[in-house]
């Protein structure tokens, strides 16, 4: 179900919609850089003005200050907007962000990053910083509002919108904002939709219903109180690097199995339904070889590989702080080294549970070494895993909308990485959250030559609108 | 045996000798820095002028050019000098260097580094860059010449001196110079003395008859062609860090034993005489705890510890290039990492022999991992170990001279690290080389607040002169 006038309007206003995205991209709203503070503010104002012009009750919400490059500055405000307040309709909450990653032409951009540039070869790609992350999706919602306003059609749901300007810089204070507005702006919300991730490939639309969490650890081994010369002291003292490398070698096997006892036992058992969803995903091992630039997959089985990415924990060794790390040769015995590794969490692993197991295991293994050095092992940060119920009516609605707009059922994917705001909304507001991506896997969010395909942007706009209609029609 | 007039002269001219050292320290002859090129040259000229004034036939020998901070400049010349050419006398070759390590007051110097400053507390310490490394010993030889010239006494040996200005920056081309002058300036040399190392403690004079060699290796593991996000790819690909850490963990045990098969079998057997020399060394475990700033010795046995430092090989893990090494957290899967380690060599280990064993072992262990990543393991540089015959008459002479000047027999030590010029002279000229240190273990060569104790400088001058007399009297 959808509104045919809406779909027709979108097709007829494609050029206007691209112009809207171009205006947004032209504002370099880089949140992590002091010299762009005014631009981030300008982008918030642009959004606010458009929302009001398109009929929303919208406002700027200050959320405090933070320190940027040593200077205390205002955090970019949260822009909230609301359209419709009909108790008979469902209320949908939408989230997006209006800030972007840094971008400099000299980093290797084909075109100026803050000028939306269509591929001159006619591929339909629209290049520009923020095109897909996350200005494309945010403009998609404005496009939906514009169509309905100009057609004089009421939205089928009550719409609440929450757009932040700090997503690329840690979403500072957003959790506090959600908490403080829980019973005010966010009151009465039925479900939520976030468009801030990507298809798994370049062809298949998907709904994303899970994210892995993370625990990040440091193992610190110290001994001497100064760095030593290996000629003078090699062979006579317990070297912290020898201990650390030994400990790090006991964390994960070559085929990616976590060696910390007890972690595997905590993983939620695989259900038939879950397995069926992984088996249905459109994905080939070649896709991953292309993505990493080499035939280095542990398994050549597609389903195994997808599950390793999406529903199994993993442990990666990231590096060592305090040891020699430059090109060339240095004959140092570092006196204090910190090994860094992280574990990706899946249900039912928790930060606390995994940390207990990791700390105990590393301490036990260190004792076995019989070293006179000192050990510390600790969590530096963590994020819990998240999973939504993909049988929720919001997912059913998005499924139908995808079939209607793309002519095919969506894949059901889970992301290997974290999107912390998802958890904040889901947990604080106790909501089902749907991740409904607009762009493709090769869009290059955070990278040079970020792009969105015109087809994804336009059909993505249709998808957001159609999803609203399906949601309105769905049985709670 | 010595000349009492010489010893008396030294005592009476202590202040002049300190003044000579002060003049030398005042020239900031830093060889590794383009802005000090003129100063290194000035220091060479200072030395040349003094040698000539003290009766030596001396000259500056150009040895080519090198690239310093991107600019092609002349290498500091070698200053050679000769005094006496009596076929009835033995001919002694002396080496020293007139360049120094960099030093900036702001690095933490108590006094301006290029002004020789006596400790105002009256400890007798003379602070200044180069005071002990190596201007003190070089001035020591000039002091000896001055005494003999002013006393009108002929030297008891023919003396050949070779002073370079590039020791702190790799002794570039010195080997070529030695080779080219082998049958010219260096012809007829009977034995050699180098004063460019240190006592093992602060109290006991020593003769040094061995140096460990070194082989430095990199293990390179590569797989993906770009760094990957551990959220997206953790668990699905063979991570180069996992492979590398596993390989590095198999190189050395916690108690410092090298795990590469075959290396232990190559170590020269310990002789009773050698063992006796180690047992006689004045050394306490507390000395090493003080030196490293912690109770982290593998063994608490003094002789074991000394042998681990001086006559056993050791393997140190220095670090990893290409992995995350900064403070903080980064969830990267590095695509290409290089593990760095070195092995200290002792007789009868050779660079070639050890490298064959290491490369084969690492390759074999990598095969066992079953990883799809790529491995390279290679030597980056090496230096052979060196050992002199401590029963040689030059050592006997130095032994007697030490007893005469210090009232005690010297310890016989070996250095854990390398002094590459020693090997060059020993091998090219086929000479017995005596390492006869002047300074103490805590002199801080290469460090801030480098110093030499006045007593070491003055008694060191006596030692060099007395050694000449004992050498003249020794039976070949």
Q: Which of A170, A201, A231, A381 should we substitute to test contact with B (largest number of B Cβ atoms within 10 Å)? A: A231
CA-based Rg of chain B, rounded to a whole angstrom? 25
Q: Which of A243, A23, A245, A222 is nearest to A139 (CA)?
A: A23
| Cα within 13 Å of Cα(B369), Cβ side | 32
Distance (Å, whole) CA B308 – CA B277:
14
Residue B190, SS3 per DSSP: coil
For A:315-334, CB contacts with B below 8 A are 315-321, 323-327, 329-334
Q: Rounded to two decimals, what is the model's pTM? A: 0.90
* Annotated active-site residue in B39, B146, B164, B167: B167
A418 is in an annotated binding site: yes
- Taking CB atoms and an 8 Å limit, are A295 and B372 in contact across chains? yes
Query: What ipTM goes with this model?
Result: 0.90
Query: What are the pLDDT digits (tens) for A305-342?
Result: 999 999 999 999 999 999 999 999 889 999 999 999 99
Pick the residue from chain A with its C-alpha nearest to B326.
A321
Whether A303 contacts chain B with CB within 8 A: no
Q: pLDDT value at position B419? A: 86
List CB contacts (< 8 A) between A288 and chain B: 233, 236-237
Residue A89 token pair: 């309709």
A108–chain B Cβ distance below 8 A for any pair: no
Let me know if A376 is a catalytic residue. no
Query: Mean pLDDT in chain A?
Result: 96
| pLDDT, tens digit (0-9, with 9 covering 90-100), for A140-162 | 999 999 999 999 999 999 999 99
Rounded distance between C-alpha atoms, residue B246 and residue B343, angstroms: 18
Please judge whether B316 and A239 are an interchain contact, meaning their C-beta atoms are less than 8 angstroms apart. yes
Contact A331 B318 (CB under 8 A): yes
Structure tokens given for B342: 């070195």
Task: Mark yes or no for CB contact B242/A317 under 8 Å.
Answer: yes
Which long-range contacts does A366-372 make (Cβ < 8 Å, 24+ apart)? A366/A243, A366/A247, A369/A243, A369/A246, A369/A247, A369/B254, A370/B254, A370/B255, A371/A221, A371/A223, A371/A238, A371/A242, A371/A243, A371/B254, A372/A223, A372/A238, A372/B294, A372/B295, A372/B296, A372/B297
- Report pLDDT digits (tens) over B157-174: 999 999 999 999 999 999
* Beta carbons of B371 and A329 less than 8 Å apart: no
Q: Across residues B219-237, what is the average pLDDT? A: 94
Contact criterion met (CB < 8 Å) for A296 and B223: yes
- What is residue A63's predicted lDDT score, i.e. its pLDDT? 98
Q: Which residues pair with B193 in a beta bridge?
A: B94, B434
Distance (Å) from the alpha carbon of A170 to chain B's nearest alpha carbon? 13
Residues A236, B255: C-beta atoms closer than 8 Å: no
**CB contact (8 A) between residue B331 and residue A309:** no
pLDDT at A107: 87
Q: What is the pLDDT of residue B1?
A: 52
Query: Residues A414-441: what's their mean pLDDT?
Result: 95
Best residue of A316, A323, A337 to probe chain B, by most B CBs closer than 10 Å: A316
- pLDDT over 90, % of chain A: 93
What is the per-residue pLDDT across A56-91, written as a single tens digit (0 to 9) for each? 999 999 999 999 989 999 999 999 999 999 999 999
pLDDT tens for A178-222 read: 999 999 999 999 999 999 999 999 999 999 999 999 999 999 999
Residues B127, B442: Cα–Cα separation, whole Å? 12
CB B117 within 8 A of CB B111: yes
- Residue B345: closest C-alpha in chain A: A231
Interface check for A473 against chain B (CB to CB < 8 A): the answer is: no
> How many Cβ atoms are within 10 Å of A368's Cβ, its own excluded?
11
Q: Are strands B91-97 and B191-194 parallel, antiparallel or unpaired?
A: parallel
- Mark whether B59 is an active-site residue: no
Residue B420's pLDDT band, with cuts at 50, 70 and 90, is confident
Q: Which of chain A's residues have a Cβ under 8 Å away from the Cβ of B241? A: 316-319
- pLDDT average, residue stretch B40-54: 98
* pLDDT greater than 60 at residue A264: yes
Query: Which tokens go with A165?
Result: 């300007």
Is A171 an 8 Å CB contact of chain B?
no
A196 is in an annotated binding site: yes
């Amino acid at each position: 179900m959808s509104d045919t006038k809406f779909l027709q309007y979108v097709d007829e206003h494609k050029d206007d919609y691209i112009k809207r995205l171009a205006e947004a991209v032209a504002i370099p709203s880089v949140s992590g850089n002091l010299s762009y503070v005014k631009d981030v503010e300008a982008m918030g104002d642009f959004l606010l003005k458009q929302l009001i012009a398109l009929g929303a009750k919208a406002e700027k919400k200050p959320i405090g200050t933070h320190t940027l490059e040593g200077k205390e500055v205002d955090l970019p405000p949260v822009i909230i907007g609301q359209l419709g307040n009909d108790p008979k309709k469902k209320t949908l909450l939408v989230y997006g962000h209006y800030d972007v990653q840094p971008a400099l032409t000299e980093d290797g951009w084909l075109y100026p990053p803050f000028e939306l540039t269509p591929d001159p070869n006619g591929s339909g790609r629209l290049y520009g910083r923020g095109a897909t992350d996350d200005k494309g999706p945010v403009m998609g919602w404005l496009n939906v509002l514009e169509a309905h306003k100009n057609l004089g059609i009421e939205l089928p749901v009550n719409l609440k919108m929450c757009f932040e300007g700090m997503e690329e810089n840690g979403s500072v204070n957003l959790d506090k904002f959600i908490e403080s507005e829980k019973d005010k702006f966010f009151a009465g919300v039925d479900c939520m939709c976030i468009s801030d991730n990507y298809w798994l490939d370049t062809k298949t639309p998907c709904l994303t219903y899970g994210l892995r969490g993370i625990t990040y650890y440091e193992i610190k081994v110290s001994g001497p109180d100064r760095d030593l010369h290996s000629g003078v002291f090699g062979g006579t003292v317990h070297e912290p690097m020898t201990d650390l490398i030994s400990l790090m070698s006991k964390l994960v096997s070559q085929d990616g199995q976590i060696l910390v006892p007890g972690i595997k036992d905590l993983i939620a058992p695989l259900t038939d339904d879950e397995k069926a969803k992984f088996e249905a995903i459109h994905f080939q091992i070649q896709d991953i070889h292309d993505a990493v630039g080499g035939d280095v997959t542990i398994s050549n089985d597609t389903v195994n590989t997808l599950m390793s990415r999406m529903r199994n924990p993993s442990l990666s060794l990231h590096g060592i702080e305090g040891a020699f790390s430059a090109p060339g040769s240095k004959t140092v015995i570092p006196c204090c080294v910190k090994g860094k590794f992280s574990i990706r969490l899946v249900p039912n692993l928790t930060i606390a549970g995994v940390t207990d197991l990791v700390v105990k295991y590393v301490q036990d293994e260190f004792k076995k070494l019989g070293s006179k050095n000192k050990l510390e092992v600790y969590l530096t940060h963590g994020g819990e895993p998240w999973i939504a119920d993909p049988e929720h009516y919001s997912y059913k609605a998005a499924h139908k909308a995808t079939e209607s707009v793309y002519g095919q059922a969506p894949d059901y994917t889970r992301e290997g990485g974290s999107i912390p705001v998802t958890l904040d909304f889901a947990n604080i507001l106790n909501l089902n959250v749907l991740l409904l991506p607009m762009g493709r896997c090769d869009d290059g969010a955070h990278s040079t030559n970020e792009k969105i395909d015109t087809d994804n942007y336009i059909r993505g706009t249709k998808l957001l609108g159609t999803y609203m209609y399906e949601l309105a029609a769905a049985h709670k």
